[in-house]
Amino acid sequence: MSISLTSVTRPSLQTFMVEGFEKLGLSAEDAAIFADALIFSELRFHPGHGQGVRRLRRYQERIGQKLVDPAAPWEIVKESPALALVDAHNGIGTVAAAKAMRLAIQKAKVSGIGQVLVRNSTHYGSSAVHACQAMEAGCIGMAITNAGPEMAPWGAREGATGTNPWGIAAPTNLGFPAVMDFALTTAGKGMMLWHAREGKKMPLDWALTPDGEITDDPNAAMNGPLLAIGEYKGYGLAFMTDVMTGVLGGGGFGLTPYSDPKKLDVSHTLTAIDIEWFMPLETFKERMGEFSEMMKSRKTRPGFTEVLIPGEQEARRVERKSQAGVPLDDEVLEDMVALGKELGLKSELEVVGPYEESRL
């Protein structure tokens, strides 16, 4: 069973999201940051990842229950020319991380590199959002975060570390940036739910049942732990991500994040490297183009027609969705329309029509 999608115009979605977040108590600046980030994710990723505009409802619920503070202070606890430690005070993680990367970029322009650790935060959205923020400023950007203990350590059948996603972005001369963005689990619960709704089996390396058994049934594994990319290697990366975020930053780590709904205790590390400290930006972009061509010039294996670089598929997706309208899961669209009425929003989502392409 395929999931029905309907496209809406990008400008109407932008206006709707900004007004919605302002209604929920965010400042105009923070509402714009959050809306931009969620639309960025909606355009780049498969809707099953759950990183897009559907989170407006989730934040309405969390803010209404006083589980996250939309007006939380963003406090610099300690800083040097290249480093900073920030306390987000249980505020909007996406906004806290965006401001932290802004500070990391400022420091990179002075010191060549800037790194900001954020503690006492919440879910920060897609890592690519923050990595690309640095890329747009002529830096290599890196964004990592810890998360709730959904991943089983190698050999265990209970979760103990998070999906702990990484994002790294660098400019190129190809018309789109090179962007790596992925969780350190092979998939998340969002994609498992998507497969369950479509009545499809999932790959055997996605998750375990609560008893620790391998399964291709997403329903059977929904209450079990997720599996790491690359088996023990992915677990090792997830472990060290907790070290570089929560352990080092004085925040939550391992079993702590998400254990208390009133204090998610998530930590992030945002890094910007100023390319022009090393060479002219245009020279770097040319070298990135040469490097990319090395990858794309290799003979393809059976079943493949081309070699892509990281971020190329997402760049094509962004272009396609920006022109034809942003496709939303019909369930999400219906709920957003209802939420707009609940919040008394003046803006409305402008529907383009059914999304009929065979790919997302």
pTM recorded for the entire structure: 0.94
Q: Which two tokens stand for residue 126?
A: 């897609």
Residue 231 dihedral angles phi and psi, to the nearest 5°:
55, -120
pLDDT attached to residue 50: 72
pLDDT attached to residue 1: 52
Is residue 156 within 8 A of residue 286, CB to CB? The reply is no
86 closest CA partner among 110, 64, 104, 70: 104
Q: Give me the count of residues in the chain.
A: 360
Is residue 70 within 8 A of residue 25, CB to CB? The reply is yes
Give the C-alpha distances (Å, rounded to integers) separating 185 from 225, 278, 346.
Answer: 10, 34, 40
pLDDT attached to residue 323: 81
pLDDT values of the chain reduced to their tens digit, one per residue, 360 residues: 578 889 999 999 999 999 999 999 999 999 999 999 999 999 987 777 777 898 999 999 999 999 999 999 999 999 999 999 999 999 999 999 999 999 999 999 999 999 999 999 999 999 999 999 999 999 999 999 999 999 999 999 999 999 999 999 999 999 999 999 999 999 999 899 989 989 999 999 999 999 999 999 999 999 999 999 999 999 999 999 999 999 999 999 999 999 999 999 999 999 999 999 999 999 999 999 999 999 999 999 999 999 999 999 999 999 988 888 899 989 999 999 999 999 999 999 999 988 877 666
pLDDT attached to residue 2: 77
pLDDT attached to residue 51: 79
Is residue 346 within 8 A of residue 26, CB to CB? The reply is no
pLDDT attached to residue 357: 75
Q: Whole-angstrom Cα distance, residue 297 to residue 308?
A: 10
344 closest CA partner among 60, 69, 68, 119: 60
DSSP 8-state code for residue 202: -
Q: Whole-angstrom Cα distance, residue 4 to residue 333?
A: 11
Task: Specify the residue for token string 């040097």.
Answer: 80
pLDDT attached to residue 356: 79
Q: Whole-angstrom Cα distance, residue 30 to residue 35?
A: 8
pLDDT attached to residue 320: 86
Question: Which residues on adjacent β-strands are paired with residue 142?
Answer: 168, 271
Strands 266-274 and 326-329: unpaired
Give the C-alpha distances (Å, rounded to integers) separating 218 from 33, 191, 204, 207.
Answer: 34, 9, 10, 8
pLDDT attached to residue 72: 97
Q: Is 223 helix (H, G, I), strand (E, B) or coil?
A: coil
Angle between helices 55-64 and 10-23 (to 10 degrees): 10
Q: Whole-angstrom Cα distance, residue 118 to residue 121?
A: 7
pLDDT attached to residue 171: 98
